[in-house]
Structure 1
Amino acid sequence: MNVARPRLPLPRGLVVLVGMAALVVVVAGLRAMGDLLGPVLLALILTIAVSPLAAWLRRRGAPVLLATIAGIVAAFLVLAVLAGSLALAVAELATRLPDYSGQFDTLLRQATGLLEQLGVGQAQVEDALRQLDVGSVVGVLQDVLGQLAGIASDLLLIVLVVLFMGMDAVQFHGRLGAVAAERPDVVTALASFASGTRRFLWVTTVFGFVVAALDVVVLLVLGIPLAFVWGLLAFITNYIPNIGFVIGLLPPALLALLEGGPGPMLLVIVLYIGINFVVESVVQPKIVGDAVGISVTLSFLALVFWAWVIGPLGALLAIPLTLMAKALLIDVDPDNRWINVLITARPPSPVATAGTKQKQAGPE
């Protein structure tokens, strides 16, 4: 009689290598489909953000059709504000810059004189000036506007996906309830992802309003044109973790330079750093980390990673996408949840962890 030999477990090193190889393949596939995934994931996050509205209407006895329409309209309004704000900021800056051609030439002459005093050759200065003028800056902004016009197809895709997701979202909670009996860990992970995403959006929105209001006050006091436009841009870029305030700083700093020279520009930069950097890079990441359960370091690395994988939308959706990956790869499997201790913003104390293990083990 043949006796079956016991199967030997694979070496852990081999398992790690195979997992890393699979991860590389998955990331390469995501990057290859970035142009498609970006709009779809944005539509998903918008649907999750507005889903409490439809759920609230259903609890109040509203018909399913009314709750669905309300959720879809709310998502469309958020999308219109996002896209319209970015387009307005770029368009206003591109329209204003040609009016400052004289100031721009004066600043270039002053910079040329300073470079010559520092020993930079005249030929090098002239070569640099031939490549740098206000027309080139306007050309870059016009290219950006052209790209914004080119993503009209993406906006159409987002609208359609939001429409269909909104139709399914009203009844999705009931479907999760039906699945919970057989796959409770999956339902818990998905619910954690949705609630964490909403907490992130809520906290970021509150901080965005605070930062935008303070920025507008500063710009109005300094007399910088289009203060409310740049405040709106600061609010939108607040959703980009860690470096969003830098993107919102560039247009008002440039206008301050053209309006009054280096002094006002430096003042705008210092005040923006005092407001935006302290709030968005010190206070907000700590609160966001506590709200969504990821560390500040992980949020920054997520920004770099998702921006590289799916482009600018990846930077905007870095935290929600990280929460999705965490739910699908860690929270869904009880054996992997120990990783949360390493990546969370505030890990549990050893005493609490030991108490949890004793409860799970039960009395001896």
Structure 2
Amino acid sequence: MDLKSPTAKAMIMLACLVVVLAGVKAASAIMVPFFLSAFIAIACSPLINWATAHRIPRWASITLVILIILVFGFLLAGLVGQSLTDFKENLPSYREKLDNEFAWAIDRLAGFNINVNRELFTQHFDPGMAMSVATNFLSGMGGALSNLFLILLTVIFMLFEADSMPSRLHTALADPEMKMKQIDRFISSVNSYLAIKTVVSLATGLIIGTWLYIMGVDHFLLWAVLAFLLNYIPNIGSIIAAVPAVLIALVQYGLASAGLVALGFVLVNTIMGNMVEPRLMGRGMGLSTLVVFLSLIFWGWLFGSVGMLLSVPLTMVVKIALESREESKWLALLLSSNAERDANRLS
């Protein structure tokens, strides 16, 4: 085989990619805390830059941000941990009530000559499994945060080094005169995306939590945190977050309340996802729905629950990196939700 042929080059690149991915997966115990640290540092950096612009020393602003993260983190971890424990204790009774509700629905359908095999239905569709998936996701996140001290130290060092990182990248890529605008655009785009997404996700979680509290849904804080985390996954994240809360409302109060809870999720995610977020972020960051779903599977396989949470931010980093080089722009267009619009933007 001619090693200079396009086919041979493609096969070599794929082989190298497989080796790299295997190494990353083997080192996931180290990579996951690093990605979480980078995620937190990038999300916090705009606040620190704002404080620095108002003549607050950088060390003081970083210390203040870390203290805020610690205080709210420990408070939230205590509340969510207790709520998660209570929910796991009540899960068998929720499963039993859900089974009864679905059995009643099957009997009602039979009255309209729509016969559903109850055994086959319960064998292939377990409504309680949706709630178990949600709690397993939160438990996985808790396991990833077990290295809290290491993550915090890494975040602190990243924040202190953030100012010098752009110039280091320029020097490393042999651009001492700072002519490569793609590097600056890459850093700015990732920073803006994660910061805006964090603010929008936080607002979504607060509104959802307030709505569930008003509706009297059990473990409303748990579902609010889940809505906050899964809002980083557009299109399908809000659906996954809504399912357990709607099922709990169905068990507690019946079909009408479950419908109101679902309506609240739909309204909040429609307003935040289709109106607020595009207005803040602009329209140049879209990923296609298929890419979002595939990235969820891929990063989840690679890094577990943390990979699912960061699937879209990580894919956005890849997309922005591909856009920054002329020879890889076509790959970025394949990831886009609107290739024609992005092609005009990149031209």
| Residue 60 (structure 2) aligns with | 66
CA distance in 2, matches of 1:39, 1:308: 16
Of residues 347, 358, 363 in structure 1, which corresponds to 2:342? 347
| Residue 288 (structure 2) aligns with | 296
Within-5 A mapping of 1:6-45: 10-45=4-39
The one-letter code matched in structure 2 to 1:293 is M
| Residue 311 (structure 2) aligns with | 318
The one-letter code matched in structure 1 to 2:317 is M
CA deviations on 1:253-303 (whole Å, 9 max, x unpaired) are: 122122123443244334433443x34665578668845534334444333
The one-letter code matched in structure 1 to 2:344 is S
The one-letter code matched in structure 2 to 1:193 is F
| Residue 260 (structure 1) aligns with | 253
Structure 1 pair 187–241 and aligned structure 2 pair: CA distance change class (3 A): farther
Structure 1 pair 185–337 and aligned structure 2 pair: CA distance change class (3 A): farther
Give 1:313 deviation, angstroms: 1.1
CA deviations on 1:94-135 (whole Å, 9 max, x unpaired) are: 35557768856854764685698776779x49x969xx898x
Within-5 A mapping of 1:1-364: 10-63=4-57, 65-70=59-64, 72-73=66-67, 76=70, 87=81, 90-94=84-88, 97=91, 103=97, 107=101, 110=104, 124=119, 150-151=143-144, 153-173=146-166, 175-176=168-169, 182=175, 188-209=181-202, 211-212=204-205, 214-216=207-209, 218-219=211-212, 222-227=215-220, 229-276=222-269, 278-279=270-271, 290=282, 293-297=285-289, 298-328=291-321, 331=324, 333-337=325-329, 339-344=331-336, 345=338, 346-349=341-344, 353=347
Report which stretch shifted further, 27-36 or 139-148. Answer: 139-148
Work out whether residues 219 and 227 of structure 1, in 8 Å CA contact, stay in contact via their aligned partners in 2.
yes
Give 1:40 deviation, angstroms: 0.8
Q: Give identity over the alignment, percent.
A: 26
The one-letter code matched in structure 2 to 1:35 is A
CA distance in 1, matches of 2:75, 2:331: 37
CA distance in 1, matches of 2:222, 2:158: 32
| Residue 5 (structure 1) aligns with | none
CA distance in 1, matches of 2:342, 2:237: 27
CA distance in 2, matches of 1:19, 1:147: 33
CA deviations on 1:135-190 (whole Å, 9 max, x unpaired) are: x9999888777656644533343223223323433543554565586367896444
Work out whether residues 131 and 243 of structure 2, in 8 Å CA contact, stay in contact via their aligned partners in 1.
no
CA deviations on 1:173-221 (whole Å, 9 max, x unpaired) are: 5545655863678964443333222322343344335544553564355
Structure 1 pair 214–308 and aligned structure 2 pair: CA distance change class (3 A): same
Secondary structure, counterpart of 1:224 in structure 2: coil
Report which stretch shifted further, 8-17 or 237-246. Answer: 8-17
Query: Tell me, which stretches of 5 or more residues in structure 1 are unaligned?
Result: 1-7, 354-364
Work out whether residues 85 and 232 of structure 1, in 8 Å CA contact, stay in contact via their aligned partners in 2.
no
Give 1:241 deviation, angstroms: 2.3
CA deviations on 1:12-60 (whole Å, 9 max, x unpaired) are: 2322222222222222322333333122111012112222344444445
Structure 1 pair 121–23 and aligned structure 2 pair: CA distance change class (3 A): closer
Secondary structure, counterpart of 1:323 in structure 2: helix
CA distance in 1, matches of 2:261, 2:327: 50
CA distance in 1, matches of 2:203, 2:142: 31
Structure 1 pair 77–348 and aligned structure 2 pair: CA distance change class (3 A): farther
Structure 1 pair 268–78 and aligned structure 2 pair: CA distance change class (3 A): same
Give 1:321 deviation, angstroms: 1.4
The one-letter code matched in structure 2 to 1:250 is V
Secondary structure, counterpart of 1:242 in structure 2: coil
Larger Rg: 1
The one-letter code matched in structure 2 to 1:306 is W
CA distance in 1, matches of 2:13, 2:72: 38
Instruction: Give the aligned length.
Output: 339
With normalisation by structure 1, the TM-score equals 0.69
Give 1:239 deviation, angstroms: 1.8
CA distance in 1, matches of 2:321, 2:315: 10
The one-letter code matched in structure 2 to 1:153 is S
CA distance in 2, matches of 1:280, 1:121: 40
Report which stretch shifted further, 39-48 or 98-107. Answer: 98-107
The one-letter code matched in structure 1 to 2:16 is A
Report which stretch shifted further, 191-200 or 109-118. Answer: 109-118
Alignment root-mean-square deviation, CA: 4.6
Work out whether residues 237 and 247 of structure 1, in 8 Å CA contact, stay in contact via their aligned partners in 2.
yes
| Residue 360 (structure 1) aligns with | none
Query: Tell me, which stretches of 5 or more residues in structure 2 are unaligned?
Result: none
With normalisation by structure 2, the TM-score equals 0.72
